[in-house]
Amino acid sequence: MIVLGIETSCDETAAAVVDGERRIRANIVLSQIDDHRPYGGVVPEIAARAHVEQIDGLIRQAMDAAKLEFTDLDGVAATAGPGLIGGVMVGLVTGKAIAAAISRPLLAINHLEGHALTARLTDNLAFPYLLLLVSGGHCQLVLIEGLGRYRRLGTTIDDAVGEAFDKAGKMLGLDYPGGPAIQKAAENGDGRLIKLPRPMLGREGCDFSFSGLKTAVRRLLDKQPELRAKDVAAGFQAAVGDVMVDRAGNAITMARAIYPDLDHLVIAGGVAANNHLRLRLDELCRERGLDLVAPPAHLCTDNGAMIAWAGVERLAAGLHDPLDAPARDRWPLDPDAKPMPFAGKKA
């Protein structure tokens, strides 16, 4: 089974080909970071236009790299949400056109499901497992019980963790995006003298909150402008690490109340590339008797392979979608989870 995957929900234009034997035949990602850098954040209109300009050539490149003709495909998977709606439409319409032209099934993929299932592509992981999804748009702890069976245990009540990294990076005058820049700056920094709050730490459940931490960084820099960016970066990372370990620890307890033998924690999303967080979560997993599964960084950030793989899984389960499948800006993984008014589509 061979599936083409298309991803255009944020600021990466991506196309990949993945097969049923978990082989990534091609995986091409074009980052738009340079287009958005002057604005210090993703500009939806610029993103959508860049996707339109790049997507056809990128798919051609992926098919060439995989040494395949379109008619070799068994299905076409495209992100149908959640994300920036203009971009989602570009990829989804392209996927529909290819599916219609070659008379193969369309798979309209939830971007979050792509992140959620990546560990099955990279590590052949069996259900159930606990997922910590940490990206620019999301911060959730989800119990992955089976294909299409996702139980949200906790989520952010305001900002996503990647958003907090990006905003803190901006305040510190670091390069865009802030996440990798903070990690790099923190390498030579000493966070021990940096006093920052640990929002939600010690609270029941496993929800997150990051808007207070962001404000605290602002206040700290106003009060002590002499602080070195690298020290604040290290202090910020330490604060996020403490919160993550506390929240994930509670989620493990909650998940094990349902599946006592649960033994894998998976991290996914762009922030999962962070070394410090990986170390802290690895310690937590060792203490609690779980294995931490961290897919390689290039499969943690947005990519087409995760979308193609979600397509492979859905196709293998006999699922596919009609050609009028809608593009959605909001599309929770767990439809039963309660909405978070201040987090909107991030929850």
Q: Which residues would be at the binding site for Zn ion (CB under 5 A)?
A: 135, 302
- Residue 149: helix, strand or coil by DSSP? strand
Which stretch in 16-24, 118-126, 129-137, 287-295 sits in contact with ligand KG4 by CB under 6 A?
A: 129-137
Of residues 272 through 331, those in contact with ligand KG4 by CB under 6 A are 273-274, 301-302
3-class DSSP assignment, residue 338? coil
Quick check: helix, strand or coil at residue 222? helix
Residue 271 binds ligand KG4 (CB under 6 A) = yes
Closest by CA to 54, choosing from 79, 25, 29, is 29
CB of 286 to ligand KG4, least distance (A): 22
Distance CA 339, CA 329 (A): 15
Residues 261 and 149 sit within 8 Å (Cβ to Cβ): no
- Tell whether residue 32 is a contact of ligand KG4 (CB under 6 A): no
Work out the angle at residue 163's Cα, subtended by the Cα atoms of residues 210 and 332, and round it to the nearest 5 degrees.
Answer: 85
> What backbone phi and psi angles, to 5 degrees, belong to 271?
-70, -20
Give the one residue of 95, 235, 269, 311 binding ligand KG4; rule: CB under 6 A. Answer: 269
User: What, of Zn ion, ligand KG4, none, does residue 77 touch, CB below 5 to 8 Å by kind?
Assistant: none
Contacted entry of ligand KG4, Zn ion, none for residue 177, CB cut-off 5 to 8 Å set by kind:
ligand KG4
Least distance in Å: CB of 47 to ligand KG4? Answer: 12
Identify each DSSP E strand in 163-269 by its residue range: 264-268
CB of 271 to Zn ion, least distance (A): 10
Binding mask 79-108 for ligand KG4 (x = CB under 6 A): ------------------------------
For residue 179, give both structure tokens. 């996440």
Residue 72 Cβ vs Zn ion, minimum distance, rounded to whole Å: 28
Q: How far apart are CA 303 and CA 295, in angstroms?
A: 12
Q: How far is the CB of 55 from ligand KG4 (least distance, A)?
A: 18
- Please tell me whether residue 116 binds ligand KG4 under the rule CB under 6 A: no
What's 171's DSSP letter? H
- Please identify, using beta-carbon distances, which residue of 273 and 307 lies nearer to ligand KG4: 273
**Cis amide bond preceding 339, omega within 30:** no
- Residues numbered 144 to 163 that lie near ligand KG4 (CB under 6 A) are 162
Q: Which is nearer to ligand KG4, 135 or 250 (CB)?
A: 135
CA 288/CA 338 separation, integer angstroms? 28
Closest to ligand KG4 by CB, 191 vs 270, is 270
Contact by Cβ (8 Å): 11, 88:
no
- Point out which span in 26-34, 100-108, 131-139, 339-347 binds ligand KG4 (CB under 6 A): 131-139
Q: Whose Cβ is closer to ligand KG4: residue 140's or residue 274's?
A: 274
Task: Give residues 169-198 in contact with ligand KG4 (rule: CB under 6 A).
Answer: 177-180, 183
Q: Phi/psi at 133 (nearest 5 deg)? A: -100, 110
Spatial neighbors of 57 by CB under 8 A, at least 6 apart, are none
Partner residues linked to 142 by β-bridges: 131, 152
The binding site for ligand KG4 (CB under 6 A) comprises 10, 135-137, 162, 165-166, 177-180, 183, 269-271, 273-274, 301-302
